Structure 1
Amino acid sequence: MTKPDFAEHALSPWMRKEGPDSDVVLSSRIRIARNLRSFPFPMLATPAQSEGVVEQLLGIAESGRLNGLGPIHTYHLSDLTELDKLVLVEKHLISPALASESRNGALILTRNEDVSIMINEEDHLRIQCLYPGFQIKEAWEYASKIDDIFEEGVDFAFDEKHGYLTSCPTNVGTGIRASVMMHLPALVLTGQINRILSAVTQVGLAVRGIYGEGSEATGNLFQVSNQITLGQSENEILDNLYAVARQMIGHEKAARERLMAESRPRLEDRVERSYGILSHARIMDSKEAAQRLSDIRLGMNLGLLPGLDQPTLNELIVSTQPGFLQQAFGEPLNPEQRDMTRAEIIRSRLAT
């Protein structure tokens, strides 16, 4: 079976670009949740009803209304292997729920992989737009245009009092989740991270790991997003996240300056020690890889490792995940084989 296009390369095309404050913010994401009025929510729908949702929503894509997004691919998840679906999760193109729990799930994906449209996840429709760096408002404008295209073609479940109706009560209202993926190693190293994250949660934002709810913040990567969509307008949600993320960016950059001024020898030792281990290790588990890649990303951003670049490190985050490792190798790998293959890939990329 031929590999799907998304499995050919670890780095999505949109990730090759650098956006504002990309030394701290890896990506900005908007996700819009919608449901069709004429069908039960996915968890209550029969297989025939779920298939009806797929037909209507894919019909919009196939009608040419999404041509403004550039070339697109459509996938029925039942046609993909478990490994394909794991790769999609690792690239943040679908949710773990769509990969493991969806009945009659489908995906609309742009060639640039900056737009992924999930069908029959927790809701009938989830539109996701991804931008490099700190561009949350730009991502919202793009996602809103796609939402308008679908709303012209189908009747969404909407209540005048509560707004858009969704399977999860926390998404009722605007139905939008705005998030930024942040690399905060200096706040961790200076011991400020718990205080910062505590303050963030007190203003209505959630902090999760790299793969969203329930995931661990490995590699000093934190996903910060709004918690509530009811009772706030889209602009209020975005303005709150933007203001808090801007403060977090400022705190992280100040912490980096402090480390350089007060602990440069120790910081250089940490960065170059991690670079040396990654460049020569023969076995590397995912947790250690994430931490040491975080160290050398920090070193690169501070000018301590001038030979590296952001796209290479972004690629290594994805290409060293279990699914992509096995997809690239062409067969299932046991944990030790994955650790050996991960180390080999890292050595190879750092040597170029």
Structure 2
Amino acid sequence: MPFGNTHNNFKLNYKVEEEFPNLSKHNNHMAKVLTKEIYGKLRDKQTPSGYTLDDVIQTGVDNPGHPFIMTVGCVAGDEESYEVFKDLLDPIISDRHGGYKPTDKHKTDLNFENLKSMTDAEQDQLINDHFLFDKPVSPLLTCAGMARDWPDARGIWHNDNKTFLVWVNEEDHLRVISMQQGGNMREVFRRFCVGLQKIEAIFKKHNHGFMWNEHLGYILTCPSNLGTGLRGGVHVKLPKLSTHPKFEEILTRLRLQKRGTGGVDTASVGGVFDISNADRLGSSEVDQVQLVVDGVKLMVEMEKKLEKGEAIDSMIPAQK
């Protein structure tokens, strides 16, 4: 259904200066990028479905910031949003994805054979030490109208073991989840890749595939998820490392991010964190999951060093 944009036509009766939002107290990527000039240039534009600039930025205007993460502050209502509002979205994407340029091309790799995982012995030891836990289900996001008509047209499909789930119309049209207890990231990733390819094969029989292009990779509602749309996370217990003064720096250098085990809005309990890849755009699915596997392995080694009272300065990696 097209978006209702009569409100936007009415707002054009007012000057840019009267309609430009006050973002002086906001802390999100949209607020950093949006200027009065960009607002004036784009505010009369709309996508074929009727999505406007005010629709794009509404969530960032209403929500000045987030206590744990740097939010994006905007959403795309349809695929065309990334072209119609590119003057705003391109610099936001660059800011969020480490300088990713409008001319860059995203690569995709869903061949799970390319992923090197830990050895069985390493996995068993991590499980015995209670360092690794299962990947959590992401929390429901309701801002920017995504909960409209809830719970109509929503559903969940899963396998008998409930290790592979497909959420229908949660944040995007589909959220595909592969998860299991233990530390076998390769098996989780294999199931994700195979399942995703089988799902798209079904769609293509009906002349529909996933939205994808060479520059942005897979098209998702939130610009922070463009590219792979993949978050590969594990629960890992780091009571010593998490209190180390360089913990945040270590995460940044490893291109990883942390959150509580209950989701993005939760804090750590007992030194247990959900550690996942910070990047989505500019590198492949295999590359991103490999960063998690290698990074978690290194942080567990650091944790064990700190338990023995030893220094970890020599283990801190260079910026990736």
TM-score scaled by length of structure 1: 0.46
- Relative to its length, the structure with more helix (as a share) is 1
- Relative to its length, the structure with more strand (as a share) is 1
TM-score scaled by length of structure 2: 0.50
